Structure 1
Amino acid sequence: MRSDIVVVGAGGHAKVCIELLRSMGESIACCVGGSDSPDLCLDVPVLRGDEHLVSLRAKGHFRLFVAIGSNRLRERLGTICVGHGYQLVNAISPHAIISPSAKLGRGVAVMAGVVINAESVIEDLAIINTGATVDHDCRVGQAVHIAPQCALAGNVTIGNLSFLGVGCKVIPEIQIGEHVTVGAGGVVICHIGSGATVVGVPTRVLNS
């Protein structure tokens, strides 16, 4: 079995995640990208086409990280890779502060400057991006993306596949549903139902 990590994705997000993994002392085997991917992602060779996931698994690779920014695609590829027998690993910056009572799922990215406080839960394939803060008792659902410099106050719940744009703020006790998009700089002071897109200070619904 091979201990080096296969990275799915070959774009800018993958570059950041490769550096996170290396900062943890991990070795990267290769990236698996699309037909239009470059030959290299940083200095890592890129194999074009998802069919390489099967052949790499047959060669003994079993550790994998999905470095895709799109929530839906990241979740879909994560499910496919687990079905092929891969184990999803986490990419966590040594410059993040994570409470010992917080719980992280699999395939999670935690970037530099992040703070995750007591008894928060970060579910599988979530991204907590650069400088974001997640206060106590929050629950961040599967394949959620919390963009750079967001701030979640205590007891906030974010449903699966939701996206909070750069610099969003969420006051305590707020529940945000699944498949929600909060525009950059939004300030959330009311619960948001699933499927909504909201923007502004405070946020207002554009569609639902």
Structure 2
Amino acid sequence: MKKKLVIYGVGKFAEYVGYVFENDTDYKVISYCIEDEFLKQNSFCNKPLTSFENLNDEFPPDEFSIFIAVGNNKIRERLYNRATELGYNFPSYISTKSSHWENLIIGKNVFIDEGCVLQPFISISDNTILFTSQIGHHTRIGKHTLISGSKTGGNVEIGDHCYLGLNASIKQNVEIASGTIIGMGCIIEKNVLESSVFTHKGTTKRNLDANQISRLFLK
């Protein structure tokens, strides 16, 4: 009998997550959920759509698990923390079509898609997403991080709340401090300070606010 799962989200990523959990795991998606301010309909992907605020009443944590399918690291962290407070368990997803070794260590609410190639001795902390990335041996990846189409050498350390974009490359033995954003096509060859931002035009001022960061990557 399949285990029962609720997915937070109503975007393309949530649809993708629902599809792979139903077709590549022992979980069955029972419902999707979203916060009240975004609740504009009562169904999503032919499943019920319910209020996240009322989730505990409709889908109690002793019967249902939840997966937070949100790309934004800060929002995903907030929802993950709230669901943790409510007592929910979080499954992680490792695609059976990905390449990885048995000594891979992962936390909760981790997503590893079918395009990932992971060498031995890798650890990935809670609430982190990997899309189509190649990760070198002995690499450690922190919490609430998103890595999309990137590549690392061996023995790389990536902190919490980081974002690595398409075709970004990290040299072996490099430390990427927490809060770092590395944009599409960037090559990082030395240790990175906390909250640094890199674009194809070079290093950008550290400690940018969310709106400034959005303007950099949405032009």
Compute the displacement of 1:101 (Å): 1.2
Give the TM-score, by structure 2 length: 0.86
Q: Aligned residue for 1:45?
A: 48
Structure 2 residue 192 is the aligned partner of structure 1 residue 192: yes
Give the conservation status (yes or no) of the 8 Å contact 1:21–1:92.
Answer: no
Point out where structure 1 has 5 or more consecutive residues left out of the alignment. none
1:25-80 residue CA offsets vs partner (Å, 9 max, x unmatched)? 32001111133355443222211x32122213448533111111110111111111
Change beyond 3 A, Cα 1:59–1:195: closer
Aligned residue among 204, 207, 210 for 1:206 = 204
SS in 2 for 1:31: strand
Counterpart amino acid of 2:34?
G
**2-structure distance, mates of 1:96, 1:16:** 16
SS in 2 for 1:30: strand
SS in 1 for 2:71: coil
**2-structure distance, mates of 1:153, 1:124:** 22
Q: How does 1:48-59 map to 2 (within 5 A)?
A: 49-58=51-60
Give the conservation status (yes or no) of the 8 Å contact 1:62–1:85.
Answer: no
Counterpart amino acid of 1:138?
T
Compute the displacement of 1:141 (Å): 0.4
Q: CA RMSD in A?
A: 1.8
**1-structure distance, mates of 2:71, 2:115:** 19
Give the conservation status (yes or no) of the 8 Å contact 2:129–2:146.
Answer: yes
Per mean C-alpha deviation after superposition, the further-off stretch among 173-182 and 53-62 is 53-62
User: Which 4+ stretches in 1 moved above 2 angstroms?
Assistant: 34-45, 56-62
1:137-174 residue CA offsets vs partner (Å, 9 max, x unmatched)? 00110011001x21111011111010001121111011
Q: How does 1:136-147 map to 2 (within 5 A)?
A: 136-147=137-148
Give the TM-score, by structure 1 length: 0.90
Per mean C-alpha deviation after superposition, the further-off stretch among 32-41 and 78-87 is 32-41
Between the two proteins, the alignment pairs up a number of residues equal to 202
**1-structure distance, mates of 2:3, 2:102:** 26
**1-structure distance, mates of 2:153, 2:96:** 23
Structure with a larger share of its residues in helix: 2
Counterpart amino acid of 2:183?
G
Q: How does 1:96-115 map to 2 (within 5 A)?
A: 96-115=98-117
Give the conservation status (yes or no) of the 8 Å contact 1:57–1:84.
Answer: no
Calculate percent identity across the aligned residue pairs.
Answer: 20
1:66-115 residue CA offsets vs partner (Å, 9 max, x unmatched)? 11111011111111111111111112212111211110111100111111
Compute the displacement of 1:189 (Å): 1.1
**1-structure distance, mates of 2:153, 2:122:** 11
